[in-house]
Structure 1
Amino acid sequence: MRIGLLTDGGYPYATGELRLWCERLVRGLPDHEFDVHALVRDPRQERAGLVGLPPQVLRVRTARLWEPVDGGRAHGRRDRRRFAEHFAQLAHSLCDEGAADSFAAGLYGLAELARERGGLCAALRSERAVRILESACRAPGARRGVRDATVTDHLAFARALEQALRPLSLDWYGAGGPADDREAEDGWEGARAGGLAAADICHATTAGAAALPGLLAKRFFGTPLLVTEYGVGLRAHYLATDGAREDALRGPVRALLAAFHGGLAAEVYRAAHLVTPGDAHTRRWQERCGADRAKLRTIHPGLAADRFAEVGESDDAGDPDTLVWTGRIEPAKDLVSLLHAFAEIRRRRPGTRLRVVGAPAQGGEAHAYLAHCRTLAAQLFPDEAPGAYAVGENPVSFEEAGGPEAPEPADAYAGAGVAVLSSSVEGFPLSLVEAMLCGRATVSTDVGAVVEVVGGTGLVVPPHNPKALADACLGLLADDDRRRRLGAAARSRALELFTVEQNVAAFRAAYLDVLSHSPGRPAPRAPGAPLPFAGAAEAGVPVRWAGPAARETVGAGAGSRDV
């Protein structure tokens, strides 16, 4: 079958989130065809170029979201009235909690206008849009958070909304769109053959902007929609507009953006045929946002187990006097609590060492937090200043992943007896799975999907509790047999649940399940292109269905045959 893979800020480019997962999925399903439709938000990502694409990727289409996608086309009088009607529905749903049902009507009305006439980007930036938004914020029943919005707030939200709705104006939706000529220029006879109408399934990698094209493909062509979320996208939007940030927007703008992203997520979950969260933590968020429990199927992320086989299958259980922490160095990882816990560990077991192996710091906040952790380590161990990147006699070493001591993730775990995760906030802990594949006993804080990943193969303590973290680590460091048993159990669990092979097999089954429960529909294609699932499956079975003398005609594509 042909899959329309919808991505946002990642695959098929060499940088970005979820790139590795998408690449493994596509390469793991060589019996399917993929059309990749990518939303790109940063010109630097496009300049970095594409990853190497396998032959099953037939087509890559990108949308540069840093610039309007409709060329500034303006509407005529009738279309302006039509825009005002649909935008008023959308704005009313964002300002009034009791009008949430009008979100879908406004969204799809704007999408149909963009498909037929174009000009949506210019209309959303117009004075008319700002006046409609101002009226909705001041209408009776408007939520308290938006009543005090100023003209500046309306302008700021209108800009943000126009950027969020740019996927509605793309020429990905087949015939009738404002930019269908581009398809013909690419060598396709008939514009619809190259759009999402040609997909058997649309697979969106988030329930946010990437799912918008999938929503429209379902509405325009009946294409089934599958949505995967490895992490809570809606929560990320809330954090991105956090009032504690120096560059945060004002309260009314944050309230309107939260209402928009919440409404979009709810509509995506409602319209999707299947939603696949990566863990129970994400699943609970999706249920709170309106996802039907019957549509949810957890599919855990998968790691390449062969990268950790040498360490995991060896008899060496690691140095019983060494702890290792790996990940991105940021405040959510709570390295401060880990350093305080290690001070207690060092007091009770003087020969213990801690290796902090972090990814290269990105951004000012990460650099500042790393500097803070180095300073704290120097204060806690004044007679033994921590090293910069080399592992020596210092009790704490800060190393960079990919450096001489840990060129591969498995190398970071090879010399350690216990792997530690100290996060205060966590989604799906991939570093924990890496440690489990290496056969290492783990001590983790009870956040995110940690308990779901660890099961009974590691120790879990409350977050923000250095004493509990220290006690758990000391208990494992002092008991070699227990560490070996837990490490072996952890590896067995990871191999069963968290491998690339398991992940790909689950999505292969999910694709077949979605298609089998979707109503049949004609699939518009370029002339001469194959039509998967165009004929009944039993048409190719060389058997007689009734007695020896029975003859029956079964449809097979455009013709028929006797069996």
Structure 2
Amino acid sequence: MRVALISEDTYPYVRRGAATWCHQLLHGLDRHTFHLVALISAATVPEPAYTVPSNVSTVSAYPINGRPVRHRNRPAATAAAVILCRGFLSEETEMFADGLRRLADLAIGGHPLHGVPLADVLLDAWQAGRRPDSPRMSVRDARSAAELIEYALRPLAVRLPPVDLCHPVAAGLPLLVALAAKWRSGTPFLLSEHGTYLRQVEGSPSVRAVLLRFYRALTRLGYAEAALIAPVSRFNQRWDLRHGADPARVVVVPGGVEPLRYPVLPNEPLVPTVVWVGSMVPRKDLHTLIRAFRRVRDAVPHAGLRLVGPQDDPGYVASCRRLVERLRLDGVVRFDDPVQSSRQAFAAGHLVALSSVAEDMPYPLVEAMMCGRATVSTDVGAVSEVVGDTGLLVPPGDPVALAGACVDLLADPARRRRLGAAARARALRLYTVDTVRRAYTHLYREVTAA
């Protein structure tokens, strides 16, 4: 089977998002031939971060921010843009689909919106369908929103080689490539979702409102056109159904890890230590964990906290460091660089904590469970369905409850071992890479057979 695997700013050029998931999937589906389509936000294509397996026939990188190719049929493109904008701003799905399909047809040979007065079109559509509670849109706002939408629609110009199936690994921009292929050549697509795709856009209230409606309309259209939708959790499945997905075409396929890479950790360090692993960004809510650890330190005088991972938001990390100083936890809370494997980080702790406010598929928890480490987590998103009864759950944003759960486990070695063993058994049963590969082998057959 020939499959076009479509990603955005991840595989094979960047080690983030669904990149590791893509790499693991490809290595297990060697009966299929893959054509990789990588949408890149950078102006130039970076050096690959992965060596692709032998079942990948071609890798095509498309810098979305590169200079677009002007299309000669500007009147038709302008008319399609009017239908598109009026469709998503008024939440008329059929109108939005009509406009997008016209633009997909016009994108053959060049990007259809380059040279189109999209800001004027957008401003007219906003004023025509403006609700009493909607923010006002200035000319400057219209230009900002138009530029973002113009960039977002550039993947419509991507042309695929003959394939049997498209597999976008996220909604949004990868979805546009799959939709265009379906409309042009009838190629079905399977949509994987590792998270809910609604971008956080900076700008005025009207710019944010425009982009929110655009991506919401695109996501709903993708759900309607997909042969199958495969979210990584029941939490995401509820999102899909809430936005119009057919329940019969939604199949939950949780993410998985390779058990051989995460064998059981037999020993614990001498100093009581809590470990957190992840990207240091606001939604991971390190402030709550740091405040909780002030209470942990008071109850367990020699305890330490290690925060391990990339510092992707320097401003946020700086605020965390200031909080550490204010709570007099200098030297107690460590900010460690990323390690080659999260198992190295887990080995330095007695338990693993997760303090997030949003989780679609908490891979660090799955990896900790596979290593046999006990976990304490905030009960958000898919955390409870992943952990089950093998870890402690506390309300999000509650440092008192988080501290209490950590202290209880630090004080009870037998309970830590019992929970860790149960967590590994659960991970081996539900969250392995082989399980993911078997599921997608079946889904590929189901889509192409239909």
Q: Same fold (TM over 0.5)?
A: yes
Contact 1:95 1:146 in 2 (8 A): no
Contact 1:5 1:202 in 2 (8 A): yes
Distance 1:10 1:68 in 2: 21
CA change 1:144–1:9 in 2 (3 A) is farther
CA change 1:171–1:333 in 2 (3 A) is closer
Shift in Å at residue 448 of structure 1?
1.5
Partner AA of 2:385 in structure 1: E
Partner of 2:197: 233
Partner of 2:124: 135
Unpaired stretches in structure 1, ≥5 consecutive residues: 173-194, 242-247, 388-394, 519-563
Superposition map of 1:174-323 within 5 A: 195=161, 198-234=162-198, 237=199, 240-241=200-201, 248-311=202-265, 314=266, 316=267, 319=270, 321-323=272-274
Partner of 1:386: 330
Partner of 1:156: 144
Instruction: Specify the SS of the correspondent of 1:297.
Output: coil
Superposition map of 1:473-512 within 5 A: 473-512=406-445
Partner of 1:166: 154
Identity %, equivalent residues: 37
Shift in Å at residue 15 of structure 1?
4.2
TM-score, normalised by the number of residues in structure 2: 0.94
Partner of 2:32: 32
What is the root-mean-square deviation of aligned Cα atoms in Å? 2.1
CA change 1:344–1:49 in 2 (3 A) is closer
Instruction: Specify the SS of the correspondent of 1:58.
Output: strand
Contact 2:264 2:370 in 1 (8 A): no
Contact 1:10 1:17 in 2 (8 A): yes
Shift in Å at residue 456 of structure 1?
0.5
Shift in Å at residue 320 of structure 1?
7.6
Max radius of gyration: which structure? 1
Distance 1:456 1:463 in 2: 18
Partner AA of 1:121 in structure 2: L
Instruction: Specify the SS of the correspondent of 1:106.
Output: helix
Contact 1:146 1:256 in 2 (8 A): no
Shift in Å at residue 282 of structure 1?
1.6
Distance 2:191 2:387 in 1: 26
Contact 1:228 1:277 in 2 (8 A): yes
Distance 1:88 1:360 in 2: 43
TM-score, normalised by the number of residues in structure 1: 0.76
Shift in Å at residue 426 of structure 1?
2.7
Shift in Å at residue 147 of structure 1?
6.8
CA change 1:17–1:4 in 2 (3 A) is same
Contact 1:440 1:490 in 2 (8 A): yes
Partner of 1:367: 314
Shift in Å at residue 145 of structure 1?
6.1
Superposition map of 1:79-94 within 5 A: 80=75, 82-94=76-88
Distance 2:330 2:314 in 1: 17
Residue 396 of structure 1 pairs with residue 337 of structure 2: no
2:359 aligned to 426, 441, 464, which one? 426
Distance 2:133 2:10 in 1: 34
Partner of 2:55: 56
Partner AA of 1:372 in structure 2: S
CA change 1:130–1:339 in 2 (3 A) is closer
Cα displacement string for residues 314-356 of structure 1 (whole angstroms, at most 9, x for unaligned residues): 3x35558222222222222222222222222222222322222
How many matched pairs?
A: 450
Partner of 1:21: 21
Cα displacement string for residues 477-514 of structure 1 (whole angstroms, at most 9, x for unaligned residues): 22222111110000111111112111111111111121
Distance 1:118 1:60 in 2: 20
